[in-house]
Amino acid sequence: MSTKRRRASSWEYVVKRKGLLSRPISLTFTDEKEGDSYVARLECLLDAGVVPAEFQENADKPATVGAGIHLYIQRVSISESDKLVLDVIYERIGKVLLSQVDYPWAEKYVKESKQIRNLSPSTIRHHVGALARMLDWLCRRGDLIANPLRLLPKGYATYTVADGAVLRALDRKSKVDQERDRRLTQAEEDAIRQAMAGHKRDDRERSLAMKDRELLVLLFDLALETAMRLREMFTLSVAQVDLSQRTIFLDKTKNGDKRQIPLSSVAIAKLQPVLERMKANERLFPWWDGVPTQESLRKTTSKLSRQFSRIFDYSKVVGLNFHDLRHEATSRFFERTSLSDLEIAKITGHRSPRMLMRYANLRGTTLAGKLW
């Protein structure tokens, strides 16, 4: 709020914002209309949680969640998915003072996500994850004492009976997790490999036409051997693959982290003949134009997803999409290796045990074989 009063030959304005301004802002104008206009613009900024630099005691110290998000995106290299989520969060809670961000606030934020916004549990976790990473950064800078989102209990995003009661009164329903657990059977894998090798189905006049057949097969193989995401694979350069060290280095992933992928003997055997024909500065796959924009990456992802849908359809494999291969590869790490959960997480890039276990859909027959 602001106040103004007339002086002998000028107008004096005092602007206050508890929790946002460390002390009131005093302004003097000779023209009342000019003063009213300036103060109105200033108050609009303050209402949005933005303190102009000339009025900040420490311009580098954010006072609101919105200012923290702005500074975080400016200073830190983060994933595009986190940027998109933080844009949404900025609109929702950008004006909240960082001094108000405590555990009761965190509980209220999650409750409103369910009872007012009716978001799905996976969306709530995505939003909380992106916001928590931003708050972690502010804690490391000393702008925040503690990150209350890290104290939320396991299953915080799951709708409770109380949530359901509130939503029923509004003629709405609780949301549940829609997690895929599609596994690839050996028969389906064999059928896909036959189709990709050029074998003709008995009920078709010709085999499946496939441009860049060898590289599409390599993409399929790498997905099952490494659990890499589609985008992580089609953006690979030859220089990122080190067969002598049996690794692929990912400089930037969906989570914004660097990751090193160990290569199995199968993956090395598939990569070697392709790499021998290529130069270090070339891209491993030909489909991406190399322009690091979201539009370019989305187009390539869509093109390859459609291509593999055609392959799966020709192979008579129903209900499978390319990302399911990442599920399958991660599950195979659990079933066929002695790697620990932490080691698998380092390979796949999953940050939380809960997210990792979402992919670890172990077959009942495999588990039964381990029983006495």
Is residue 254 flagged as an active site residue? yes
Q: Answer yes or no: 350 catalytic.
A: yes
Rg (CA), the chain: 27
Whose tokens are 């004096």? That residue is 12
Distance CA 24, CA 194 (A): 74
Q: Are strands 11-15 and 25-29 parallel, antiparallel or unpaired?
A: antiparallel
17, 125, 229, 259: the active-site residue? 229
Q: What letter does residue 53 receive in the DSSP assignment?
A: G
Give me the catalytic one of 183, 254, 299, 346. 254
Q: What does the alpha-carbon distance between residue 349 and residue 205 come to, in Å, rounded to a whole number?
A: 43
Identify which of 30, 32, 26 has the alpha carbon closest to the alpha carbon of residue 10: 30
C-alpha to C-alpha distance for 290 and 299, rounded to whole angstroms: 12
- Positive or negative: CA dihedral 119, 123, 128, 131: negative
Contact yes or no for 122/177 (Cβ under 8 A)? yes
Among 126, 175, 326, 327, the active-site one is 326
Burial label, 41 (beta-carbon count in 10 A; 0-12, 13-18, 19+):
exposed
Is 127 known to be catalytic?
A: no
Contact 326, 347 (CB under 8 A): no
* Residue 199 is a catalytic residue: no
Bridge partners, residue 29, by sequence? 11
What DSSP state is assigned to residue 251?
S
Q: Find the angle CA(321)-CA(79)-CA(235) to the nearest 5 degrees.
A: 55
Q: Which of 323, 332, 346, 358 does the annotation list as catalytic?
A: 323
- Report how far residue 5's alpha carbon sits from residue 216's, in angstroms, rounded to the nearest whole number: 74
**Could you confirm whether 229 is annotated as catalytic?**
yes
β-bridge partners, 4:
13
Q: Is 359 a catalytic residue?
A: yes
State the catalytic residues. 229, 254, 323, 326, 350, 359
